[in-house]
Amino acid sequence: MHEIELLVLLLAVTTALAEVANRLRVPYPVLLVLAGLALSLLPELPPVVLAPNLVFFVFLPPLLYASAWALSWPAFRAEARPITLLAVGCVLFSLAVVAAVAHYAVPGFGWGPAFVLAAIVSPTDAVSAAVATKGLPVSRRVSVVLEGESLVNDATGLIAYRYAVAAVVTGQFALGAAAGQLLLVTAVGIGVGLAVAAAFYGVHRLSRTSAAIDTSLTLLTPYAAYLLAEKLHGSGVLAVAAAALFASQYVGGVATHDRRLQAAAV
């Protein structure tokens, strides 16, 4: 099967599953995962390999930006305490549990590789968390906490992964250095995101932009925030989230309703 045919098949399956999820009123990521597992068992299908850079630098920034834009900043600020506690404490607790299960359940699996695996799978995905709660009978507060935690926990997972890998390579783990790095990665990510969003907000205010320019700026903002934060060894996810929360509060006042709708559609 050629790549184009495989792509068309996957798009058709995805569309059908989205319709089924809407009718059953269940989060469609669950059906996508189950369908992916089922398709992987078919020997006729060739393996599908996605380059990591394609996922992290092409797909993730705009999806994350749209998800964070829809999150209310006043609601996020009101729930800052539980969001922070979950983003740090819950991720570390999940990391410890996953590492222990991997270490004791898999023969010969050392603590170092177990913590690396746990650091990879413990943080929740920001986009999936927002989609998973959509349409479910959960309160607005619970939805805000879950979505906010999924946006913030990236820094914890990133630092845990870096130091787990370093511990495997060097055989040493520096807890104090990890805590300092967590604060640094968080500060750099948020700072870069706010700076990028403020810069594009200034462009909106000081220039006569058109619908095409507004759409281009909307698409450019998440990529600029993510890439610059990663370049400065900060959290790209936090940078995009901070940029989206800032832009949703201020850019809406200078961009017309029609232009915002067009940018959101793109």
For the chain, percent of residues with pLDDT exceeding 70: 82
Q: How confident is the model at residue 231 (pLDDT cuts 50, 70, 90)?
A: very high
With cut-offs at 50, 70 and 90, classify the pLDDT of residue 1: low
State residue 25 phi and psi, 5-degree precision: 60, 50
232/209: higher pLDDT: 232
What torsion, rounded to 10 degrees, do the Cα atoms 133, 137, 140, 146 define? -30
Give dist(CA 21, CA 165) in Å, integer: 38
Spatial CA neighbour of 84 closest among 152, 34, 13, 163: 152
| Cβ atoms of 49 and 75 closer than 8 Å | no
Structure pTM? Answer: 0.74
**The pLDDT value given to residue 256:** 52
Average pLDDT of the chain to the nearest whole number = 80
Average of per-residue pLDDT across 208-227:
81
Q: What is the pLDDT of residue 173?
A: 64
Query: What digits encode the pLDDT tens for the residues 155-169?
Result: 788 778 877 887 777
Q: Judge whether residue 258 has pLDDT over 60.
A: no
CA gap 98, 121 in Å, rounded: 8
pLDDT at residue 147 is higher than 70: yes
Residue 233 has pLDDT above 60, yes or no: yes
Instruction: For residue 13, give both structure tokens.
Output: 């399956």
pLDDT for position 197: 92
Question: What pLDDT sits at residue 264?
Answer: 55
pLDDT at 52: 67
E strands present in the chain: none
**Residue 265 pLDDT > 60, yes or no?**
no
Among the ranges given (29-38, 131-140, 201-210), the one the predictor scored with the smallest mean pLDDT: 131-140
The CA distance from 125 to 121, in Å, is 9
**Per-residue pLDDT at 129:** 64
Q: With bands split at pLDDT 50, 70 and 90, how would you rate the model's confidence at 175?
A: low
Backbone angles phi, psi at 208, to 5 degrees: -90, 85
Split at pLDDT 50, 70, 90, the class of 195 is: very high
The string of pLDDT tens digits covering residues 243-254 is: 988 888 876 544
Q: What is the pLDDT of residues 47-85, one digit of tens each?
A: 777 676 777 788 888 888 887 887 888 888 888 899 888
Model confidence band, residue 130 (pLDDT cutoffs 50, 70, 90): low
